[in-house]
Amino acid sequence: MISVKKAQSIINDNIRPLGSETILLKNVGNRINCQDIIAPFSVPSFDNSAMDGFAVRAVDTEGAKKYSPITFMMVGVSSAGVPSNIILQPGECVQCMTGGKIPEGADSIVIVENSSGFSDSKTVEIYKEANIGDHIRRQGEEIKEGNVIISKGTCITPGEIGVLATFGYEKVSVMIKPKIAIFVTGNELVEPGNKIKSGQIYNSNLYMLSGLAEKSGVEIVMSEVVKDDKNSLRKLLSNALQICDIIISSGGVSMGRFDYVREVYNELGVQEHFWKVAQKPGKPLFFGTIGTSLIFGLPGNPISSLICYVEYIHPTIYDLQNRKRDSKHRAILVEDFAIDNKKHRYLFGQSWIDSSSGKLLCSPSSKRGSHMLTATLESNCILESPPCKQGLKAGDEITINLLNWRNF
């Protein structure tokens, strides 16, 4: 049996990031960009107006008031997409709409509310003094040409998509999504929607693991329910080994009489890197490789499966795409935490920011059995403690892994 740290480092040593592909902007949502994206030009790319109003020379507005306006000559219009080429002379102004280019010679915008308004008249009255720079978006004030706008390893979300479009990127190079297969094993499993007999249970892990895999951003190419039968297991797994970057199985990897999964992996030529980790839950975790495929044998208890997925497979999926990992946090326990002196202890729990102290607090779920999947319903994180002789008490700090798909 190896430690959690050792297990993590063995997995890390076997990860070979996948390649990249170039795809259309409309398809890049939730993909991981594979290189730093550089601003090909400054934004704004030209000085433009932040408001609908008049481009003026601030000096010409000195003393302008509602009851003693200053009359300007109206010499042109600059609107978004249709700039004016006029060079502003003293006493002149240009009607300038939001996004419109600031004409040469102008140094400020008087908003239309502070004037006699837009019209076709040759003059306009200005009611308010302007300061140099008023309502002007300066060229390059947001981003300078050549700056990194999105660093490699970033997950592309709607903000990134908008920014990519802002800079005219029609296509983006992203990491290839890992292809995964999910198998759940067990003679007792019945699919939801069917009648259940005594001794049987509904298969929850396939649905849960598929949901998790979607959250991690992978392509699920196989998902199967398999009996505890070596032949059918062998057939399905050997297919998966040909096409998948990651194979996840649940169940059948413990000490039971019908736990064939490890044996079948070995028969298929999977190199076993470890089986059994000093952790609770999830002790019988199996990890092996064949070629570049990574194989995870998760124990069948739903909470064990879930925790092993979140702690080992989710970060692996990130690493395969060179994606920046989510960081763990430290939080203060509001109640004692049952540690183990030999095993790394994981428990689902709730974390929140205390409104008076502003500190991050947490408490473990009262449902502590590895079969108690409903513990997840009241949780937004996994609390963890390495093996330790002394128990953690209320007020002590503990590491938490926030489940970013749960509300915080």
Residue ranges that bind ligand AMP, judged by CB under 6 A: 184, 186, 188-189, 201, 203-206, 250-252, 254, 256, 299-302
| Partner from Mg ion, ligand AMP, none contacting 69, C-beta within 5 to 8 A by type | none
Count of beta carbons in the 10 Å neighbourhood of residue 27: 12
Q: Considering the rule CB under 5 A, would residue 252 count as an interface residue with Mg ion? A: yes
Place of tokens 């006493």: 91
d(CA 276, CA 266): 15
Least CB distance from residue 1 to Mg ion, whole Å?
20
Quick check: 215 and 263 in contact, CB under 8 A? no
Ranked by CB distance to ligand AMP, the top (closest) residue is 300
Distance of CA 188 to the CA centre of its chain: 36
Quick check: 283 and 343 in contact, CB under 8 A? yes
d(CA 23, CA 15): 24
Q: Which is nearer to ligand AMP, 48 or 305 (CB)?
A: 305
Least CB distance from residue 184 to ligand AMP, whole Å?
4
Q: Which of 69, 83, 100, 251 binds Mg ion (CB under 5 A)?
A: 251
- Please list every residue from 128 through 187 that binds Mg ion, using CB under 5 A: 186
Q: Which is nearer to ligand AMP, 161 or 190 (CB)?
A: 190
Quick check: 276 and 254 in contact, CB under 8 A? no
Helix (H, G, I), strand (E, B), or coil: what is residue 82?
strand
Q: Which is nearer to Mg ion, 188 or 272 (CB)?
A: 188
Least CB distance from residue 346 to ligand AMP, whole Å?
16
Q: Which is nearer to ligand AMP, 122 or 257 (CB)?
A: 257
Binning the chain into helix, strand and coil, the percentages to the nearest 5 are 20, 35, 45
Ranked by CB distance to Mg ion, the top (closest) residue is 251
Length of the chain: 408
Q: Considering the rule CB under 5 A, would residue 299 count as an interface residue with Mg ion? A: no
Cα-Cα-Cα-Cα dihedral sign, residues 73, 76, 78, 84: negative
Least CB distance from residue 300 to ligand AMP, whole Å?
3
Q: How many helices (H) and strands (E) does the chain have?
A: 7, 25
Q: Which is nearer to ligand AMP, 217 or 297 (CB)?
A: 297
Backbone angles phi, psi at 62, to 5 degrees: -55, 125
| Partner from Mg ion, ligand AMP, none contacting 301, C-beta within 5 to 8 A by type | ligand AMP
Q: Which is nearer to ligand AMP, 254 or 350 (CB)?
A: 254
Helix (H, G, I), strand (E, B), or coil: what is residue 243?
helix
Quick check: 324 and 318 in contact, CB under 8 A? yes
What binding mask, one character per residue, do residues 179-208 give for Mg ion by CB under 5 A, x or -? -------x----------------------
Backbone angles phi, psi at 389, to 5 degrees: -80, -40
Least CB distance from residue 188 to ligand AMP, whole Å?
5
Least CB distance from residue 176 to ligand AMP, whole Å?
29
Least CB distance from residue 302 to ligand AMP, whole Å?
5
Least CB distance from residue 140 to ligand AMP, whole Å?
56
Query: In terms of C-beta density within 10 A (0-12 exposed, 13-18 middle, 19 or more buried), how is residue 67 classed?
Result: exposed
Q: Which is nearer to ligand AMP, 39 or 206 (CB)?
A: 206
Q: Which is nearer to ligand AMP, 217 or 251 (CB)?
A: 251
Q: Which stretch binds Mg ion (CB under 5 A): 151-159, 195-203, 217-225, 294-302?
A: 294-302
Alpha helix positions (H), 154-298: 158-166, 205-216, 230-243, 261-267
Q: Nearest Cα to 207, choosing from 195, 189, 228, 231?
A: 189
Q: Which is nearer to ligand AMP, 133 or 211 (CB)?
A: 211
For binding to Mg ion (CB under 5 A), which residues are involved? 186, 251-252, 300
